[in-house]
Amino acid sequence: MASETIRRVALIGGGVIGAGWAARFLLNGLDVVMFDLDPEAERKVATVLDSARVAWTALYPGLLPAEGRLSFAGSIAEAVKGAGFVQESLPEREDLKRRVLAELDALLPPEVVIGSSTSGLLPTSLQSDMAHPERLVVGHPFNPVYLLPLVEICGGARTSDAAKAAAAELYERIGMQVLHVRKEIDGFIADRLLEAVWREGLWLINDGIATTAELDDAIRFGAGLRWSFMGTFLTYRLAGGEAGMRHFLDQFGPALKLPWTKLEAPELTDSLADRIAVQSDEQADGVSIRDLERLRDKALVSVLQGLRATDVGAGATLERHMQQLRRALPEPVSAPVDEAAPLRLHRAAVLPEWIDYNGHMTEHRYLQVFGDATDALLGYIGAGADYVAGGHSFYTVETHIRHLQEVKLGVPLTVETQVIGGDAKRLHVFHSLFAAANGDPLATAEQMLLHVDNAASRAVPAQGDVLARLDRLRLAQASLAPPEGAGRSIGARSSAPASESSRG
C-alpha cells in the first residue's frame, strides 16, 4: 500500500515504545487505533502524547497538521480493521511476538505491511508462522520515538523488498531517518554499539573505577557531543589530521591489541545490581521520572534545532520533514487586496530560538517580525530586491514598538499594516501584530522610512511605478481612523521638572 494513501495505523502494544509511535503518527495527522491489555494503557499513552505535543509545538512551530484521532480497540481484530499499516510493539518475547504476528497476518489483507519494534529478535524467526511472511519488516525505533528520528529497517529471509520500501516510505513521511540493516543480525546495528558501551560501563562500576554519574559525564561532556552530528568514524578521521583515516589507523591501531576493554559483561550479581541502583538514585537526586523526561525532551528539541541550523545529522532529517509539512499546509485563499483596509501581508510563527529566559518571545524578535512586515509592504509596492539592485531603497530611520501581551513558543502570528502618512521621500507606517488563531493584539510598531539613493547616500523622491503605487495606497487608506497608539512616545511619565527631565 502506497504511503500517501495510508490514513489509519494500528498499533499493537501501548508501552513506552507503542505510546511513542502513537504520538509520532498522530502528530503527523494519521489516525491511530491501539490495542493493549493493560487497563492503564489509555492513561499512559495520554501522558506520553501530552509530552509529545509540547515537544512538537516547539520543534515544528506553525507547521503541524490537524492531529489524528486516537482510539482504543477491545481486540486485535478490531484494531486492525481498515488499517493501512500495523506496528507491533509487544514485550521482547519471541513466542508472544510470533503468535501475535501470525494472528495479525491472518486478519489483514496481504498488501498491508506489518512492522515490528523488536530491538534485537531476528525477523526470520518472527515471520516463521506467517502465511504472508513477505510483509513483515523490523522497524526498530529509539526512545522517545516521537523525537529521535532513527528507525532501523531489517527484513527476514522471506521479507520482500517492496515491504521494506513501503515501510521506509511511511517512516520517512512521519519524519524518521531510515537505516537499512544489510544483513540480519542479533541486536541490529545501533543496539550492538550501545551494548558495547553498556557492558564496558558495567565493568567500570563492578571494578570500582567509576560511578553511574561519572560514566554519564564521560559521554555527555565529551564524545556524546561529537556523536550527535559526526558519529565515530568521521570524528576519528579528523583525529588523523590532513592524512585522514589511514594515518589515524596507523597511529592508534596498535592500541586495539591492548586489553583496554572487556566486552563480555560481568555477572549481574545482586551486589552489582544494588550498587548500580543506589548510584543511579544518587545521580537522579530526587528528580522524578516525569521531570527527567521533560528535561530530556526539552534538551532534545534544542539539540535538533541546533543541528538543523547547520543542516547536519538529525538536523537535516528535521529540515526535510519541516519542508514536507510546509508543502502539506493548505494553500492560502487568494483574494484581491483591499487597499482601503489595513494590509495583511506577513505571517510568522514563534520559533524556539526566539524564546528568552522568561519563556516569551525576546525583544529583538518583535523588531524582526515588524521588519519582515515592512519588507512585505515594500515588495507589495514594487520596492523589493530588484528595486534595491537598481540603486534605490527605503531605509527605516525610526521605530517605536509597544508590547501588549506575552507571546509564547509556537504561536502563529499575523501582521496588519496601515500607511498613516508620508510623501515622495517618506513612508510612515503602523504595524499591528496579532495572534493568528484568535486575533488577540500582541504588539504594535510605528515606523518612519526614507527613500534613499544608495549611490548618493541621501534621501530622494521615489519615482515611477513605486511612487504611483505608494500614492495610490496612501490615498486608499487616508480615510482610515488613526490606529490606537499611533504617535505615542514612551509611556513612562517623569515627575521631575521639565528642565531636569530634558537633560541628556
pLDDT of residue 331: 63
pLDDT by position in tens, the chain (length 504):
677 889 999 999 999 999 999 999 999 999 999 999 999 999 999 999 999 998 998 888 778 899 999 999 999 999 999 999 999 999 999 999 999 999 999 999 999 999 999 999 999 999 999 999 999 999 999 999 999 999 999 999 999 999 999 999 999 999 999 999 999 999 999 999 999 999 999 999 999 999 999 999 999 999 999 999 999 999 989 999 998 998 988 998 888 888 888 888 899 999 999 999 999 999 999 999 889 999 999 899 989 989 998 999 999 999 999 999 988 877 655 557 899 999 999 988 888 778 888 889 999 999 999 999 999 999 999 998 889 999 999 999 999 999 999 998 888 899 999 999 999 999 999 999 999 989 999 999 999 999 999 999 999 999 899 999 999 999 999 999 999 999 988 865 545 444 333 333
Single-letter amino acid, residue 65? P
d(CA 365, CA 413): 12
Q: Which of 62, 61, 54 is nearest to 300 (CA)?
A: 54
Q: At what angle do helices 314-328 and 289-310 cross, to 10 degrees?
A: 80
**Residue 442 near residue 434 (C-beta atoms within 8 A):** yes
Helix (H) or strand (E) holding 86: strand 85-88
Cα–Cα distance measured from residue 145 to residue 87, given in angstroms and rounded to the nearest whole number: 13
Phi (first) and psi of residue 214, to 5 degrees: -65, -35
pLDDT of residue 205: 96
Q: Residue type for 469, please?
A: R
Write down the pLDDT at residue 333: 53
| 368 sits in which H/E element | helix 363-380
Q: Which amino acid is at 279?
A: Q
How many whole angstroms separate alpha carbon 24 and alpha carbon 124? 27
What is the pLDDT, as a whole number, of residue 85? 98
pTM for the model stands at: 0.76
The number of beta carbons lying within 10 Å of the beta carbon of residue 219 is 13
CA distance 403 to 443: 5
Q: Which residues pair with 416 in a beta bridge?
A: 344, 432
C-alpha 46/C-alpha 24 separation (Å) is 13
How far is 441 from 433, CA to CA, in rounded Å? Answer: 6
Domains in the chain with CATH codes? 3-188 (3.40.50.720), 191-286 (1.10.1040.10), 343-477 (3.10.129.10)
- Identify the pLDDT of residue 489: 81
pLDDT computed for residue 500 by the predictor: 38
Question: Contact, 200 vs 261, CB < 8 A?
Answer: yes
Closest Cα to residue 139, out of 109, 110, 169? 169
